[in-house]
Amino acid sequence: MKFRTIAASLALVVAAGCAPAQSGSTGEGGDERTGTLRVWLFDEANRDPKEKVVDQAIAEFEAAHEGVTVDVQWIAVESRADKFAGAFNDPANAPDVAEFGNTDLAGYVEAGAFADLTGDVESWEHGADLLPDVLDTATVDGKVYGIPWFTGIRALYYRTDVFAELGLEPPATLAELAETARAVRQAKPDMYGISVGGKYVYAMLPFLWASGGELARPENGQWTSALTSPEAIRGVTAFADLISPGICPPEQCADFTGTQSVQAFAGGKAAMTIGGDFNRKAVEEGGLKGKYAVVPLPGTERGSIAPAFAGGNLLGVFGASERRGLGVEFAQLLASPKYQSEMYSAMGNLPTLASVQRELARNDPFLQPFVESMAAGTRFVPATPAWSQIDAQGVLPTAIQRIATGEARAREALADAERQMNEAFGG
Amino acid sequence: MATRELTPAPARTAVPPARRTRRRGRDGRSAALYLAPAAVLLLGVLAYPIYQLVVISLYDYGQAEAAGNAPLVFLGLENYADLLRRTQFWVVLAKTLGFAAVCVVGSLAVGTALAVLASRVRAVPRMLLFLAALGAWATPAVAGSYVWLFLFDADFGLVNEVLAGLGFDGMAGHSWTFGTYSAFGLVAMEVIWCSFPFVMVTMYAGIKGIPDEVVEAASLDGASWPRIATAVILPMLRPLLLIATIQSIIWDFKVFTQIYVMTNGGGVAGRNLVLNVYAYQQAFAGQEYGQGAAIGVVMTLILLSVTALYVRSQRRSVELT
């Protein structure tokens, strides 16, 4: 008899739970005008300057809105996936406003967590001033889900002292870039011609795009990888060829990430690197102040600029937020011209408003090459949730590394990568 | 020892039938009472998670599904079929088995050798040996991995410096983590380093537990030392060796931290992936929980069958001796 009760209760448990758990769909949210506004911002290696700017904005916001307090939580970039997944699964504990990377956007939108801000951006006084390429990175299926807070553009850093000593000119095409890099390492065997790495996908993408290739194409609402087109193969090969004994030996460079590539340059181990406007501090703290310059990464033709990857962070409002209006207003305040330029002086982040960018570039020649790259047109990764998966599975780094180490020919490695990408798009 | 456990107790059958059922009923009830806490605990922390794992592996279960923003799609065995179709899965599985085998054999050999050594030296060197082993044992896996990485660092590592100093000029700047075998070898050494102490302590206890008279008798009968070791000591240690081996198989098959840290998430172009890291990279980092659960179930099954096969083979040989 006892066994029967046990069996029955077991059957009940099985019947009740024969599907994996799902949390309830995101709530409707509300528009309360008082109370605590919860905000998630990314923690940075050196947070103090960022925190000061944010504190200033909070003080201004709280003074303008009686009965409102802003509570900021700092989220580590590395553990963001867990944090956000937790917030999506439990809307009651989600913040009202959150900063997030634009490459994560499509996945977050699929989870249905963020509110549609299209109308709020249109009616915003600075909405029309947002750079179109940047606003595109905040858009999924024609709807805007975040206010672009700042953007990051990469360009070519090079050592002016080394170039002067060897009588070299900054390269005008990608082919010249490889030649110049080879020439440097020949003259200085303990230096990398250019420090790039197998895991530095954002440095590879401009090569791919400049050669006329694409990561993937949308066809009838379904993305299809385009990595095996002749243009894409040419572009990826041109990048992977930089990871070779004559330029940046695979033993050291095949596993470099973007940060490691820039560190090698900042440490004086490389004559060139591909770095972002946000890497300026790292490079100057490495003791290279006055010994380096930045030019836009050249394209395949003389005088052209390789399309840069438009990275950057957005400020979104959670759909389940009880204080939607306040959340939008706070995000707009942080993204206003005043705080964008404050953030630039604090962290070196490139603004997303055209007028602020122009203004800053006029006063700071360092920004010129980045603004120029941006004006030449930027590109973005496929706006689909599958991108997070492709990124996490290391599909592109694996392909680059297989080519660079000679484990596979470019066509073969890219065909494998294409298959994996299509699997991710299909699933 | 093991043989005694394995033969059924004959006393039971002597009990008369009527009394037996009554007693068995009472015994059963108190046994159930005593076992209940353990059963509840096991149900909660073992059975339920495994049940969930199996259920999730039958669905297309990603972040959107978990958040309740997309309908659940029942896939049946599609996740498994998909996994078994991938060449990379089989390559990673083969590498994992090879890597685990090397680690198991290595830690057993090192652990047993040092246990024999410990049983034959004086107290002070033995204490030093145990302190060193316990130090390695107590080191957290992440910390241990980083220490080994520093030692074998291409530019600043002590090992390269010493080798270069000894005249091996080619070793200056040599990258230990670049080549497939060199990276696996390095990680295997670290795994052996942090798992031999368990084997050593277990085997030492076993060796100490062998009565002196047995060994004495064998040597009086004229057995040589190798013969005593293989024909007397080893069979007596077999039950302990069995436990140490099963533990090592389970640990080394599931290695994650060392590979993840030392080869930077699976090595250049994923050459050093093992199953656990592969599952994490393919499924959990990519938030494809259904696919990841399928890998988890497959791993559990492989581990269970390897262990079962091993236990069976050992049991048979124990019964023969």
Domains of chain A, with CATH numbers?
35-152+310-373 (3.40.190.10), 154-309+384-426 (3.40.190.10)
**ipTM computed for the complex:** 0.72
Nearest to B269 among A18, A81, A401 (CB): A401
| C-alpha to C-alpha distance for A350 and A48, rounded to whole angstroms | 18
Q: What is the pLDDT of residue B11?
A: 45
- Residue A67 identity (one-letter amino acid): G
Choose the mutation target among B40, B48, B69 for the interface with A, i.e. most A CBs under 10 Å: B69
Task: Tell me the CA distances in angstroms from B225 to A342, B219, B237, B241, one per residue in order.
Answer: 80, 8, 16, 20
Q: Does residue A184 have a pLDDT over 80?
A: yes
Q: Does B31 touch chain A (CB under 8 A)?
A: no
| C-alpha to C-alpha distance for B73 and B59, rounded to whole angstroms | 6
Q: Which residue has the higher pLDDT, B9 or A51?
A: A51
Task: Tell me the CA distances in angstroms from B154 to A371, B149, B160, one per residue in order.
Answer: 38, 9, 7
Choose the mutation target among A390, A391, A405, A421 for the interface with B, i.e. most B CBs under 10 Å: A405
pLDDT one-digit tens code per residue, A9-23: 555 445 445 677 776
Report B:262-281 residues touching A (Cβ under 8 A).
Answer: 264-266, 268-271, 281
DSSP B86-107: -HHHHHHHHHHHHHHHHHHHHH
Token pair of A137, please?
A: 């990175």
Cβ <8 Å between A113 and B67: yes
Cβ <8 Å between A110 and B270: no
Cβ <8 Å between A111 and B154: no
Residue in chain A closest to B56 (alpha carbons) equals A20
Q: Which residues pair with A315 in a beta bridge?
A: A99, A147
Q: What is the pLDDT of residue A320?
A: 86
> Under CATH, domain B76-320 is a member of which superfamily?
MetI-like (1.10.3720.10)
Q: How many CA atoms lie within 13 A of B204 on its CB side?
A: 20
pLDDT above 70 covers a percentage of chain A that reads 94
Nearest to B269 among A111, A393, A405 (CB): A405
| C-alpha to C-alpha distance for A355 and A360, rounded to whole angstroms | 9
Q: How far B189 CA sits from the closest chain A CA (Å)?
A: 21
Contacts of B67 in chain A (CB under 8 A): 22-23, 26, 85, 88-89, 111-113
Task: Tell me the CA distances in angstroms from B35 to A2, B29, B30, B44, one per residue in order.
Answer: 15, 10, 8, 14
Domain ranges of chain B: 76-320
Residue A268 and residue A192 in contact, taking contact as beta carbons nearer than 8 Å: no
Q: What is the pLDDT of residue B247?
A: 87
Report B:176-205 residues touching A (Cβ under 8 A).
Answer: 177-178
| C-alpha to C-alpha distance for A62 and A258, rounded to whole angstroms | 38
Cβ <8 Å between B52 and A112: no
Q: Which residue has the higher pLDDT, A336 or B313?
A: A336
Report how far apart the first and last C-alpha atoms of chain A are (Å, whole number). Answer: 47
Residue B107: pLDDT band by 50, 70, 90 thresholds? very high
Contacts of B49 in chain A (CB under 8 A): none
Residue A164 and residue A130 in contact, taking contact as beta carbons nearer than 8 Å: no
Q: Give the orientation angle of helix A410-426 with respect to helix A230-240, to 10 degrees.
A: 120
Residue B160: pLDDT band by 50, 70, 90 thresholds? confident
Q: How far A394 CA sits from the closest chain B CA (Å)?
A: 8
Residue A139 and residue A315 in contact, taking contact as beta carbons nearer than 8 Å: no
Q: Choose from A30-44, A92-106, A175-189, B240-254 the range with maximum mean pLDDT.
A: A175-189
Residue A231: pLDDT band by 50, 70, 90 thresholds? very high
Residue B1: pLDDT band by 50, 70, 90 thresholds? very low
Q: What is the mean pLDDT of residues B90-110?
A: 94
